[in-house]
Every structure is written in structure tokens, then in C-alpha cells.
């Protein structure tokens, strides 16, 4: 596993658990609003976090942490994710996976092998609208397959959408709703453009990205018809 960072304590990243967050290095998407741009390239320019150091850290925190969040970057592009999750579970931690849903075969295998306890998947927009903003090429069937595998798994889960006006509107929320019908938890996240801290700051200068609170609330009302609970995660506009 290649890691770009570790957050040693979190009370919010794994619902109802005290967790740490492991950030894997490398992502196959290029979301302009990505808040972890240093994790997107396959190799970090910063000091890497070595796997043995991760296990040494977890051994010391066994009595303090309930769960481990494996986030990114995109964890499912790492070849040894299955073994890594297995080792973490063998240590007694619950495992939460954060994924962009682009590799359903990996998600399905993790579920089948019982290597994860909770999955959070991003739904960037209508799967048919990922190209070209999210990536140059994305097969929408893969996104739908990941969502369906999660829904069928019986595992704790959530889906989430960052509300960027240029790609998220009533129509795309309906398409997402159809894809994730029956989901236990769906979170709409207000986008935050921290200039210099997003992957593509230029996108925010050239696109109408901001959705106000009223508009996001209207999107929640649409989404609520498809899922058990839809909430909004507000951020302060900068
Ligand atoms: S926000 Fe997009 S680019 Fe950034 S890590 Fe997640 S999927 Fe990759």
C-alpha cells in the first residue's frame, strides 16, 4: 500500500466510532474541487507514510481506536488492499472504505471477503455526466455497479455528493436517486473552494460552481424521495 498521509484521530470520519484515517496515494479521477490534490498523483512529493509505520501506529492505538478509515486518493486502485484490510480487521479494528466507486470488482470482492464494515461512496453527479469534469473517461456502468453492490451488501453505508452547480442539479440528483434508491444515508456536501487548495482552482474561475443554501435544500428534498435519510453537510463559503 502507498500512503500519502495519516490522521491519527477522528470523531467524524467513521460514524459512531473513534477512528484514524489513512490516506492512500493516487487517484484515477481528477475532480476539480478535490481537497486533497497532493494525494491524486501516483507518487507524492511529500514524505510517504510507510506501511510498517502504519501497523506500528495501529498496534500502539489498539485500545484507543475502534475503527480505521481507508480514504484517498482512491484506495481501490491499490493492488494489496484486500490483504491490508484483512490485517487491519485481524487486529480487531472495524474498517471503513471511502471510494469513488470506479472499480466495482474491488468493492464487490472486499464485501464478499468481509474485509470492510462500512462503505462510503461518492456519487459525483449523474453517472452519465462524469465525463469530462470528473475524468476524461468513465464507464457509467461501473459507477452504478459499485452503488448496487454496496446497496445489496447489507453493510453500513453512505453515499455523498459534493454540490458543484455546473454538474449537480435537479436532473442529476434524480439520476443519482435512481442509482442509489433505498440507501440508508445520503449526504449532500456544500462545495468549498479554497483557492490553492483544490486540484483545479482555474475551474472555479471559469464555471458557475456555487449553489446557495436554498438550492441545496431543494436538491435534498428531491433526493429524500429516493433514500431513507438525506442530510446536508454545510461548509462556510470562502
Ligand atoms: S475528490 Fe476526486 S480526485 Fe480527489 S481523491 Fe476523491 S475521487 Fe480522487
State the angle between helix axes of 51-60 and 81-90 in degrees (0 to 180), rounded to the nearest 10. Answer: 20
Residue 227 · residue 181 · CB < 8 Å: yes
pLDDT at 122: 98
- β-partners of residue 5 are 23
pLDDT of res. 43: 83
Q: Give the residue from 31, 67, 20 showing the smallest Cα distance to 163.
A: 31
The CATH number of the domain holding residue 78 is 3.20.20.70
- Closest residue by CA, ligand 1 atom 5: 73
Distance 116 CA to ligand 1 centre (A): 20
Residue 238 has pLDDT above 60, yes or no: no
pLDDT score at 194? 65
Instruction: State the virtual CA torsion across 40, 172, 118, 27 in degrees, nearest 10.
Output: -10
Length of the chain: 238
- In 3D space, the residue among 114, 115, 113, 27 whose CA is nearest the CA of residue 78 turns out to be 27
Rounded to whole angstroms, the Cα distance separating 44 from 65 reads 27
CA distance 98 to 106: 12
Whether 116 contacts 109, CB under 8 Å: no
Q: How many domains does the chain have?
A: 1
- The pLDDT of residue 235 is 80
Residue ID of nearest Cα to ligand 1 atom 1: 34
| Å from CA of 91 to ligand 1 middle | 28
4-29: burial string, b at 16+ Cβ within 10 Å, e else: bbeeeeeeebbeebebbbbbbbbbbb
Residue 46 has a pLDDT of: 75
Output the CA 135–ligand 1 centroid distance in Å. Answer: 10
Residue 196: pLDDT over 50: yes
**Which grid coordinates belong to 143?**
459507477
> What pTM did the predictor assign?
0.96
CA of 24 to the centre of ligand 1 (A): 11
Question: Residue 214 and residue 156: Cα distance in Å, rounded?
Answer: 29
Closest among 169, 124, 165 to 146, alpha carbons compared: 124
Residue with CA closest to ligand 1 atom 4: 34
- Per-residue model confidence (pLDDT) at position 91: 97
pLDDT at 134: 98
CB atoms within 10 A of CB 206: 10
In the structure, what pLDDT confidence band is assigned to residue 47 with cuts at 50, 70 and 90? confident
Is residue 19's pLDDT more than 50?
A: yes
- Per-residue pLDDT tens for 155-182? 999 999 999 999 999 999 999 999 999 9
Percent of the chain with pLDDT over 90: 92
Structural domain including 226 reads: 3-233
Ligand 1: residues whose CB is within 6 Å? Answer: 27, 29-31, 34, 36, 39-40, 72-74, 100, 199
Is residue 238 domain-resident?
A: no
Q: Is 214 helix (H, G, I), strand (E, B) or coil?
A: helix
Q: Which atom of ligand 1 is nearest to the CA of 162?
A: 1
Whole-number Å distance between alpha carbons of 15 and 119:
11
Ligand 1 centroid–CA 35 distance in Å is 8
CA gap 24, 238 in Å, rounded? 27
Q: Is 237's pLDDT higher than 60? A: no
Which atom from ligand 1 is nearest to the alpha carbon of 37? 4
Residue 28 included in any domain? yes
Q: Is pLDDT above 80 for 55?
A: yes
- Report which of residues 26 and 192 the model is more confident about: 26
Tell me whether residue 106 is in a domain: yes
Q: How confident is the model at residue 108 (pLDDT cuts 50, 70, 90)?
A: very high
d(CA 198, CA 206): 14
Is residue 195 predicted with pLDDT exceeding 70? no
Average pLDDT over residues 184-206: 88
Amino acid at each position: 500500500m502507498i500512503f500519502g498521509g495519516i490522521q491519527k484521530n477522528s470523531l467524524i470520519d467513521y460514524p459512531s466510532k473513534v477512528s484514524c484515517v489513512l490516506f492512500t496515494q493516487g487517484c484515477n479521477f481528477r475532480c476539480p474541487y478535490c481537497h486533497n490534490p497532493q494525494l491524486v498523483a501516483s507518487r507524492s512529493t511529500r514524505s510517504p507514510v510507510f506501511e510498517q509505520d502504519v501497523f506500528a501506529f495501529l498496534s500502539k492505538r489498539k485500545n484507543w481506536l475502534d475503527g480505521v478509515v481507508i480514504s484517498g486518493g482512491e484506495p481501490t486502485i491499490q493492488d494489496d488492499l484486500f490483504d491490508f484490510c484483512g490485517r487491519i480487521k485481524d487486529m480487531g479494528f472495524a474498517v471503513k472504505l471511502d471510494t469513488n466507486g470506479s472499480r466495482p470488482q474491488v468493492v464487490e470482492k472486499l464485501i464478499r471477503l468481509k474485509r470492510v464494515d462500512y462503505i462510503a461512496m461518492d456519487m459525483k453527479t449523474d453517472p452519465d455526466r462524469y465525463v469530462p469534469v470528473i475524468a476524461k473517461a468513465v464507464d457509467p456502468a461501473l459507477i452504478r455497479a459499485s452503488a448496487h453492490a454496496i446497496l445489496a451488501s447489507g453493510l453500513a453505508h453512505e453515499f455523498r455528493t459534493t454540490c458543484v452547480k455546473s454538474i449537480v442539479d435537479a436532473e442529476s440528483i434524480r439520476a443519482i436517486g435512481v442509482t442509489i434508491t433505498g440507501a440508508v444515508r445520503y449526504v449532500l456536501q456544500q462545495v468549498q473552494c479554497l483557492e490553492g487548495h483544490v486540484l483545479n482552482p482555474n475551474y472555479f474561475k471559469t464555471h458557475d460552481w456555487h449553489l446557495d443554501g436554498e438550492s441545496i435544500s431543494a436538491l435534498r428534498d428531491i433526493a429524500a424521495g429516493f433514500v431513507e435519510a438525506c442530510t446536508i453537510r454545510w461548509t462556510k463559503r470562502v
